[in-house]
Amino acid sequence: MPGPTDATVDVASVYSAIEKSADLLDVTASREAVWPVLTAFEDALPQAVIAFRVATNARHEGDFDARFTLPKEIDPYAVALSRGLIAETDHPIGSLLADIQRLCSIDSYGIDLGVLSGFKKIWLYFPAGEQESLSRLTGLKSMPQSLAGNAEFFTRYGLAEKVDVIGIDYRSRTMNVYFAAPAKCFERETVLAMHRDIGLPNPSEEMFNFCENSFGIYTTLNWDSMEIERISYGVKTDDPMDFFARLGTKVEHFVKNVQYGVGEPKMVYAAVTSSGEEYYKLQSYYRWRPVSRLNAAYIAARDKESM
C-alpha cells in the first residue's frame, strides 16, 4: 500500500495505521496511550514524516514505537506538559530542551511514542550543514556530565564538531547524540578501536558488515553515569532483510508485511549496549518526506565526503 496523501493524514488514520502495524507483532496498541499524543500535535500531522519502529532485543519485546516530525514553531516539551503527556520534573532533563533552544538554531523537531507507554522522546534537529560542537553543548548546566566526560573520545574520532541531532528520552532519562560522522568511523579497524575505547566487546562479524554501509553514529548517555551507555549505527536500505540471516519470527513478519511505505527506503539501526548486547531497530515509513531532516541528517554529509 502506498503512503497516504496529506489530505488523508489525521489522528484517526494514523492511529489506525499504528494499530494495524503493531498487530503484525502481536502487540495491541493502547488507545489511551497513543490517542492523546496524536491529538496534542494533530495540526502538524498532515505535513509530518511519520514512521513506525520495532526493536529486536528483549527489552523492547512486546512494544512498538511511532514517530513523527514537527515544525520548529511548535515547542514539543511545552505542549507535552500542557496536555499532561509528561509531568514536570526538577531533574535536569526537564530543562535541557529549553537550554538548547536558547543556545542553538533549531531546524525542526520529532516526537517518539510507544503504543503501550505513550509519549517518550523529543528529537531536535539542527539546520542542515550547521552541526553543533561539544564545546558549546557541554557548557549547558542541564547537559549530562558524561558528554563532557567523553569529549576526548569524540574528538579522537572526528565527532566533536559534528553534532547533528539530539534526542531527549523523558521516560528512560537518557540522551542520544547523533553525529554526522566521517566515513573512516565506519571502517572495521575504527569501529573496533571505538568499541575498545569505551569498554565494549568486539563487534560480531554481522555488525562489522553492517557498519561498512552506515551513514551515521549515535551514542546514548545518561545523568547517572560517566559511561557511554550505547553506540548505534544507521543504514538506509530498501530491504532490511539484506543485512540479516534472521531477525526473529515476529520482526521478520513485520518487515515483510507492514502495509505502508512499500516503495520507500527503510532505516535500520544497529546498537551495542554497555553490557555487550547487539540488537537492531527497524524503521518503516507510513509517510516519507525525502527532504526532511529526519531522513537526511547524515546521508548528505557522508556522500559529500566520499565524492
**Closest CA relative to residue 5, chosen from 68, 38, 47, 39:** 47
For position 302, what pLDDT does the model report?
A: 47
User: What is the residue range of 106's domain?
Assistant: 6-306
Cα–Cα distance, 34 to 82 (Å, whole number): 16
Look at residue 93 and tell me whether its pLDDT is greater than 50.
yes
Average pLDDT (42-64) is 81
**Closest CA relative to residue 151, chosen from 197, 96, 204, 215:** 197
Cα–Cα distance, 85 to 249 (Å, whole number): 33
Average pLDDT (269-277) is 77
Q: Give tens-digit pLDDT for 240-267.
A: 666 665 566 677 777 777 766 666 666 7
CA atoms in the 13 A half-sphere facing the CB of 72: 13
**What would the grid cell of residue 6 be?**
496529506
**What would the grid cell of residue 77 be?**
516539551
Q: Does the residue 1 lie in any domain?
A: no
Q: What is the mean pLDDT of the chain?
A: 86
Q: Does the residue 253 lie in any domain?
A: yes
Q: Does the residue 179 lie in any domain?
A: yes
Q: Does the residue 207 lie in any domain?
A: yes
Whether the Cβ atoms of residue 120 and residue 171 lie closer than 8 Å to each other: yes
Q: Does the residue 32 lie in any domain?
A: yes
For position 253, what pLDDT does the model report?
A: 77
For position 215, what pLDDT does the model report?
A: 86
Q: Does the residue 99 lie in any domain?
A: yes
For position 41, what pLDDT does the model report?
A: 98
Tell me the pTM: 0.90
For position 307, what pLDDT does the model report?
A: 41
Domain count for the chain: 1
Q: Of the ranges 16-25, 59-68, 192-201, 254-263, which one carries the lowest mean pLDDT score?
A: 254-263
- The amino acid present at 84, given as its one-letter code, is G
